[in-house]
Structure 1
Amino acid sequence: MDKNQAIGFVLMAALLMVWFYFFAPEPPPPSQEIANDSANIANPQSVTPDNGSIATFQDGENQSPALDSADLNNARYGVFTPAMVGKDQELSLENNVMQLYFSSKGGLVNKVELSEYEDYRYEKPLVLLDEQSSRIKYMISTGYGNIDLAQLYYTAEKKSLGDTLILQFNAALGNGKFISHIYSLAPNSYEVGHKFVISGLDSEIAGGKVSMIWDNHLKRLETDIKYSRNYTTVNYWLTSGSMEELSARSSEKQVETFSEAVSWIAFKQKFFTTGYVFNDPVSTGTVSAEYAEHDTTTIKYCQASIDIPLANFSTSAGSNKYYFGPIKMKNLKNVAPGFKENLYLGWPVVKWINQFAIIPIFNFLEKYISNYGIIIIILVFILKLVLTPLTYKSHISMAKTKALKPELDELKEKYGDDMQKMQSEQMKLYQQVGVNPLSGCIPMLLQMPILFAMFQFIPHAIEMRHKSFLWAEDLSTYDSIVSWSVNIPLISSFYGNHISLFTILMTLSTILYTWANSQSTAQMQGPMKSLQYFMPLIFMFMLNSFPAGLTFYYFVSNLVSFGQIAIIRKFVDDTKIRAILDENKLKNKDKKKSKFQARLENAMKASEENKKSRAKK
């Protein structure tokens, strides 16, 4: 071996040693069990928790591999850790008018069914709310962060106290600390007692308050979704004794902050409401409502966000209550002070007529008559009978005015260019014959509150919901004999995409009544004569989408009024009326003006002078 070969072998040996040192083959892979253990140690987040623990790490958190899941849970939830795991079970309470469903996770009401009512598809029971539409959170601030008490797991116990059913949810947190929900349901009741207790946790909850956040997407319950939205809002009762409400007809999002202590809140729809009554009033909170414009299953998106003092959750605090049910006077009036205001019955005078006259009569009739169309007819006859003296007096007054038409026409021809003089002579004539020109209007004005009372009562009467009569399938919404889906400019906007037969009959009967009434009065001249026949046509457009029960009421009322005029005419002798007026004219020829007439003439003179002064300018 020469020198060059020796150097070559040495270099080759050195290269082999370097190769085996740096590029040796990897050892065979470990068994699957060993691989899994290694992965668990390297990534504690991937451990599937057993029933005694839950994984709570968030991405990016650096935790020691030696820290077990129990330690991690304690770090995240602290004293609330024992209630962060459990089994979600459904429980229920039921009486003869509704069924409530609860979840052991959260211990809250998840679903409400009203057994006696149908939804807009005429299917029973009516689902007032469910998990998809309603969610309540009870948020607290702690040293571990914000915690939603609705995410805790509770154990449940169901029992009864006499006829009242009790369902209690309890979350034991150790060392005498606990959270519980206690619900009570009596027979035939839409009220659900709710006692919410938080015990031994004052030092754990920052700010001394619990924030109740109730998101309620109000479900579609009625056929006419557009009309329903105009009746859907959030109401709340101030302890000073008045109800506040968000604008129901506004298409903009409505938000209001409590200006003073509040006793209850209510998510009100046309015929049903979901309410919560606080045993101890709350002072801090906001409510909001927003149109669900393109959602055909939801009417409005509503929310109530309320801060409740921690003292209201003590074991000695009173019980709150829910109300899940119909907007019906007999059910609302005893729920809480002012809760009956969820049934809107009009302005004060109109409301009193409804509350103390119309509703009691209506409730009496429905005890014996099941057909609500017949009830409406009887109600019309009762009201017309009560108002007959006023109607008769009004008719006699108008007949006297008609008898004076020749004299009035003569004055108009004589003083037509001098309005002040003509009005003065007219008042002199009225005084001489003993006729008060306002006496025909006063009886009509006295009847107006009843007209307005029915206008408010029938659209809000849940008793007529899904009740049929003749061709109307539902007296609580419009009756449609013809409908179309195509949007017709102006027609669809101002009249609708349907034709209500009761509204047409109401319009025709109004025109008939107007004509019959004009035969008993002095004929109107000029635009007023046309206007009295044009107004019913305007109401035909306005009321086409109103409840069939209302337009049917007006139709029957017009027919009865027409009959009243026909009967009264048989007892009124125009010749005798003329003779009485002539006799009064002779008696009162030299009679001084009354104080009322003097004031009226002075007012007319002042008005005429103002017109002349404006004309000169």
Structure 2
Amino acid sequence: MEENKFDYKQFIGFGLLALIGVFWINSMQPTEEEVAAQEEAEKAKTEQVTTETANPKADAIQETTVDLTDSIQAAKYKSNVGAFSYNVGKVSLDDVTTIENQVLSLKISNKGGQIVEAHIKGQIVKGEFEELKTYDSLPVYLVKDGNASFGINLTTADNRLLSTKDLPFEPTYTENGDSKVLSMKLKVAADKYLEYRYEMKDDYMVDFTVRSQGLNGVVNVSQPVNMEWKLKSFRHAKSVTYENRYTDLHYEYDDGKDSYLGQAEDEEKVNDVTWLGYKQHFFSSILLTDTAFKTATLSTNNIVDSEMAEKDVKFLKEFGATIPLELKGGELNYNMDIYNGPTDYDTLTAYDRNLDEIVPLGWGIFGWINRFFLIPLFGLLSAFLPAGIAIVVMTILVRLLLSPVTYKSYLSQAKMKVIRPEITEINEKYKDDAMKKQQETMKLYGKAGVSPMAGCIPALMQIPVFYALFMFFPSAFELRQKSFLWAEDLSSYDTIYQFPEGWSIPLYGDHISLFPILASIAIFFYMRMTTGQQMMSQQPTQEGMPDMSKMMKYMMYFSPLMMLFFFNNYASGLSLYYFVSNLITIGIMLVIKNYIIDEEKIHAKIEENKKKPKKQNRFQKKMQEMMEQAEAQKKANKK
């Protein structure tokens, strides 16, 4: 048996353990600062220090108890925040203050003095309150459960990097008539503080002031002071894909210009920003400032995965803004506003701050048609009609307004149909001479008073109206939660059949919508009528040229199919419009064909025009001369 011997290595090891134990015990003893903090905390606990917290619903004062009662924790917290430790031990970080009116409720936390809950309760429609809900009948929240943060990052005189979103603000709530004011102060001393001041009246806009007093010398003015605002947008609609398409970041800059960040991940630095808005399709959070931010770094990040099941989606996009603030005399002073409310054109326009630009109505003429015609027209109709009926009536009025254009297009096609035999004869006669064929065809058009472009121009004139309507319906807040026939919500897709869980057709979806089917059928019959008329009016296909009749036949089947797939996830109000619009157009064309246009009279008129001397304008004369010169050059080359 081996004899045990003294091992000096073990002795050294045990000695080190003993030293570590002694050091650990000594380090756990509270410092003088910690002992003082413990005494202060115990005194605060005994006296039940309270602070008034407003509750507008009950018009009562709630007690706010101290939550930093642990001595070591309080001391370390004070040590970390340094000069801004005045509120520590006096203000509970867990408490919130509620300010609200009829349409909006905000909860502001003592921690960071920031909005931790923004609930859009409803809207005033025709003088009455109308509650707003999500697609699954839940309250509409823009901020809740930590999806947003707001704070100012600064450097103190002793070079501590602090973020106000983590610091305790002291609340003071007052009411003055319809105005509710909440002052949140982060104090260095009783007369030295950073203040967030919220003033709510009777709408969605809240006056928001950021100012400081006595911080000159407390804040390191040589270091940047950055305001950061982040938000993850909640899902509110039935279709994640559809809602995400209209969820983006908008901003105004450079004295009235506006722009936005696209759908993909993006980051952009802009100058002279006067407002920026996080739009969540039908709802928006907007920060406005009276003093333009010299620079702002804006970012958007798409959270939604294209393969993610729609039922599992909670957030759509993550928005962010970093804005350097200017210190004047070592102090902050910014008068701002915060809007949390509907992305409604009329509501945003009423503020006269160019906020209506956040509503995607289209650029140029498309936006003008929406602003000055479609929005006022629909607003007038929906004032006394249900939304679905208002869409039908508006569709009838738009189609009647465009009926002269439809008549001109159909008349041009009828004229081309009448002279088609003569065009065929010219093509046969000059089939080996393309230049001569073109000359004789142009002569025939001139004599008959027919223009092949006359049928295209009216159709092109309708495109701005169609595109404006395409932009109007997805952005019309008035359609949200409005039902019609089997459609529960005209701002979302209608469903007549839901596929079993896990089933989905690529590009189509996991459901069947009826309005797109009806619209596709109406488009098919409309295109069948117009395609047949256009084929009769088209010139015979020339050798080496594509067969237009075949292309038209393909379009007759392709367009309804595209409509069926594309609009299955779109707003049912838009599909309803196209369905009714095509039915009315078919009816107008049948009336024009059977009761207005007489092809025999058209033929007689064309023959009469042929006998009259046709005076060419300068352009026609120039074209004629060029064609004759080209033909002469061709003959000269052959010799």
1:444 alignment partner in structure 2:
459
Q: Which amino acid is 1:352 matched to? A: W
Task: Tell me the CA shift for residue 507 of structure 1.
Answer: 1.3
1:529 alignment partner in structure 2:
552
Query: CA separation in 1, counterparts of 2:321 and 2:379?
Result: 34
Matches within 5 A, 1:242-281: 242-248=257-263, 250=264, 253-258=265-270, 260-281=271-292
User: Taking every aligned residue pair, what percent have the same amino acid on both sides?
Assistant: 30
The farther-off stretch of 408-417 and 500-509 is: 408-417
The farther-off stretch of 569-578 and 451-460 is: 569-578
Query: CA separation in 1, counterparts of 2:150 and 2:329?
Result: 18
Contact 1:115 1:124 in 2 (8 A): no
The farther-off stretch of 461-470 and 192-201 is: 461-470
C-alpha distance 71-464 of structure 1, shift in aligned 2 (>3 A): closer
2:154 alignment partner in structure 1:
140
1:304 alignment partner in structure 2:
321
Matches within 5 A, 1:339-350: 339-350=355-366
Deviation sequence 1:469-491 (CA, Å, 0-9, x none):
11222211222223325777xx8
Query: CA separation in 1, counterparts of 2:155 and 2:410?
Result: 73
Q: Which runs of 5+ in 1 are unaligned?
A: 1-36, 55-66, 610-617
Q: Which amino acid is 2:194 matched to? A: I
Deviation sequence 1:305-325 (CA, Å, 0-9, x none):
11111239958x452001111
1:580 alignment partner in structure 2:
605
Query: CA separation in 1, counterparts of 2:555 and 2:443?
Result: 28
2:45 alignment partner in structure 1:
none
C-alpha distance 48-174 of structure 1, shift in aligned 2 (>3 A): closer
Query: CA separation in 1, counterparts of 2:371 and 2:442?
Result: 41
Give the RMSD, CA atoms, in angstroms. Answer: 3.1
Q: Which amino acid is 1:343 matched to? A: V
Q: Secondary structure at the match of 2:85?
A: helix
- 2:591 equivalent among 545, 564, 567: 567
1:41 alignment partner in structure 2:
29
Deviation sequence 1:431-453 (CA, Å, 0-9, x none):
10112222222222111111111
Contact 1:208 1:310 in 2 (8 A): no
Query: CA separation in 1, counterparts of 2:241 and 2:36?
Result: 50
- 1:353 equivalent among 361, 369, 372: 369
Contact 1:140 1:210 in 2 (8 A): yes
C-alpha distance 100-74 of structure 1, shift in aligned 2 (>3 A): closer
The TM-score normalised by the length of structure 2 is 0.79
1:15 alignment partner in structure 2:
none
Contact 2:181 2:199 in 1 (8 A): yes
C-alpha distance 72-518 of structure 1, shift in aligned 2 (>3 A): closer
C-alpha distance 566-372 of structure 1, shift in aligned 2 (>3 A): same
Query: CA separation in 2, counterparts of 1:38 and 1:149?
Result: 34
C-alpha distance 437-222 of structure 1, shift in aligned 2 (>3 A): same
1:481 aligned onto 2:496: yes
Query: CA separation in 2, counterparts of 1:492 and 1:349?
Result: 37
Contact 1:98 1:115 in 2 (8 A): yes
Matches within 5 A, 1:84-99: 84-85=88-89, 86-88=91-93, 89-99=95-105
Q: Which amino acid is 2:321 matched to? A: A
The farther-off stretch of 441-450 and 149-158 is: 149-158
The farther-off stretch of 81-90 and 567-576 is: 81-90
Q: What count of residue pairs does the alignment treat as equivalent?
A: 550
Q: Secondary structure at the match of 1:387?
A: helix
Contact 2:199 2:206 in 1 (8 A): yes
Q: Which amino acid is 1:254 matched to? A: D
- 2:206 equivalent among 178, 192, 197: 192
Task: Tell me the CA shift for residue 267 of structure 1.
Answer: 0.9
Task: Tell me the CA shift for residue 72 of structure 1.
Answer: 6.9
Matches within 5 A, 1:122-141: 122-141=136-155
Q: Secondary structure at the match of 2:393?
A: helix
1:539 alignment partner in structure 2:
563
Contact 1:235 1:267 in 2 (8 A): yes
C-alpha distance 296-522 of structure 1, shift in aligned 2 (>3 A): closer
The TM-score normalised by the length of structure 1 is 0.82
1:81 aligned onto 2:85: yes
Task: Tell me the CA shift for residue 50 of structure 1.
Answer: 4.4
Task: Tell me the CA shift for residue 522 of structure 1.
Answer: 5.0
C-alpha distance 80-509 of structure 1, shift in aligned 2 (>3 A): same
1:404 aligned onto 2:419: yes
The farther-off stretch of 37-46 and 460-469 is: 37-46
Task: Tell me the CA shift for residue 126 of structure 1.
Answer: 0.9
1:467 alignment partner in structure 2:
482
Query: CA separation in 2, counterparts of 1:519 and 1:365?
Result: 36
Contact 2:519 2:575 in 1 (8 A): yes
Query: CA separation in 1, counterparts of 2:562 and 2:436?
Result: 36
C-alpha distance 484-167 of structure 1, shift in aligned 2 (>3 A): same
Q: Which amino acid is 1:532 matched to? A: M
Task: Tell me the CA shift for residue 40 of structure 1.
Answer: 6.1
Task: Tell me the CA shift for residue 424 of structure 1.
Answer: 2.2
Query: CA separation in 1, counterparts of 2:533 and 2:470?
Result: 27
Q: Which amino acid is 2:560 matched to? A: P
Contact 1:99 1:112 in 2 (8 A): yes
Query: CA separation in 1, counterparts of 2:610 and 2:615?
Result: 13
Q: Secondary structure at the match of 2:86?
A: helix
2:108 alignment partner in structure 1:
102
Query: CA separation in 2, counterparts of 1:604 and 1:462?
Result: 57
1:556 aligned onto 2:580: yes
Query: CA separation in 2, counterparts of 1:203 and 1:130?
Result: 36
C-alpha distance 214-313 of structure 1, shift in aligned 2 (>3 A): farther
1:392 aligned onto 2:396: no
Q: Which amino acid is 2:29 matched to? A: I
Contact 2:111 2:169 in 1 (8 A): yes
Q: Secondary structure at the match of 1:407?
A: helix
